[in-house]
Each structure stands twice: as structure tokens, then as C-alpha cells.
Amino acid sequence: MHHLICLLSLIFFSGSLYAAEYSGFMVKSYNPKREQLNLYLKDNNGQPFKTFERLNTWLSTQQEELLFAMNAGMYQNNFEPVGLLVIKGKQLGKLNLRAAQGNFYWKPNGIFLINETGAQIVESSEYPKFAKQVQLATQSGPLLVQNGNIHPEFKPEAISRLIRNGIGVAGKQVYLVISTQPVNFYEFARFFKDELKCTDALYLDGVVSAVYSAETKINSQITFLGPLLGITKKP
């Protein structure tokens, strides 16, 4: 297992990454004209996917092709989501507005959603205003960027640096991002705001953050995951 982790690390942190013009970050821009963005948790038998490979195999049986994927938010020991999860219009996880310790509960936290007006990121307590017609939603925290402003508690000098992943919205454009080297919250948020011009961005996770890319043949996953974000080719 140790050798596998080392091999994946070598592949993942090599210089030949998709969107390499962004030093230190791997970026996938979602193109709704050619691609579909979906959330995934369990197969038809109610078994959690847990891995990109299992998701990819299952999608193949549905005549779908997985192009890109990453973990989609924080999850419990049984791989169920900590907060809201909506897949194809069906709510599988409840909105969680509790106060507690941990990044998920670091206020403000937020929800990435897609409804009839398109993709957006909203503060979690505001979700009921947007709940109708939501086809896809995942809750996580904290919000990295809100209304064009970096989270006020993020500090440039923060020493906690991890591989982190998140999702951002810039107008009608959606970006899925994972760092290719350890970064702190401020550095991660600044990338969304300054480089991608996102008005809103949501933190998905760190430590377990992983990415799958068919184009570059990358699969950096080293642990089981809960909800997954996947981009497939439109039929």
C-alpha cells in the first residue's frame, strides 16, 4: 500500500498536469454544452461507490463516459454526507445548520447547487429560498469566497497547509479545483478570486482530496470517499 501511495503521489505531483498554466493547481472548467455534471453516492444496489474506479465502471454500464471526478464534500464514517445532498432532484442528505467543531461547521458554510437558472453557490441558511427545482446540491464548508470577498478569517500566514479541493462559480462558468501542492485556506481562496475570477467558491475538503482525470490518466485517490462530483460526456 505504501508503494501505491508513493506512486500516486509521484503521478499527481508531476509537472504535466491538466491546466498546467495555473502553477500549483489543477483546474477543470465545466462545459455544459458538451458535458454533464452530476453527484454520485450509491449504485443501483444501494452500495456506496467509494472509489473513482467503481464509479467509472458503473457509468460504463450506463453507457456513460467519466471524464473528470473529485470528492464532493464531507462525509461520515458510513460514507453518508454530513449535510445536504441532492442527486437528480432527490434529497439524500439533510440541510445541516448545526454549530460544531470542524471545517464543515466553520461559518459561513455553503451549498453548491444547480437549478433551472444554472449553477450557483449560496450560504447554507439561504438554501430554502433556492430549494425548488434543485437538481443537484452538495453542502460543505467553509465558503472560500462569498460575493467576491475572501473569508475574513483566512490569514495569509496560516501554517496549516494541505492538498485541498473546492468548487467555484464565475458568472455561468463552474470550476472544479484541486491544489497540486499543500496550500492554506487563504492561498486556496485567493486562487479562486484572483486567478479564476470567481465571485463565490466553496471548500470541499482537505487530506482526503483526490482527483480523477481520464484525459491525463490521473487517479490520485488513496482512501475511500463519500459523495463524488463527476463530469461525463454528453451523449
Tell me how many domains the chain contains. 1
Q: Residue for cell digits 432532484? A: 89
Strands of 52-172, DSSP E: 66-71, 85-87, 90-93, 110-115, 118-123, 136-140, 143-146, 149-150, 164-170
Sign of CA dihedral 129, 227, 36, 59: negative
Residues spanned by the domain of 167 = 2-233
Q: Contact at 8 Å (CB) between 95 and 80?
A: no
What local confidence, expressed as pLDDT, does residue 22 receive?
66
* Largest interatomic CA distance in the chain: 49
Low-confidence ranges of the chain (pLDDT < 50): 1-21
How far, in Å, CA of 162 to CA of 180, rounded?
10
What local confidence, expressed as pLDDT, does residue 5 receive?
35
Q: What is the pLDDT of residues 44-77, one digit of tens each?
A: 999 999 999 999 999 999 999 999 999 999 999 9
| Amino acid residing at 182 | P
How far, in Å, CA of 196 to CA of 157, rounded?
22
Q: What is the pLDDT of residues 220-232, one digit of tens each?
A: 999 999 999 999 9
**Of 125, 118, 121, 127, whose CA–CA distance to 144 is shortest?**
121
How far, in Å, CA of 30 to CA of 52, rounded?
18
Q: Contact at 8 Å (CB) between 19 and 217?
A: no
| Amino acid residing at 107 | K
What local confidence, expressed as pLDDT, does residue 23 receive?
79
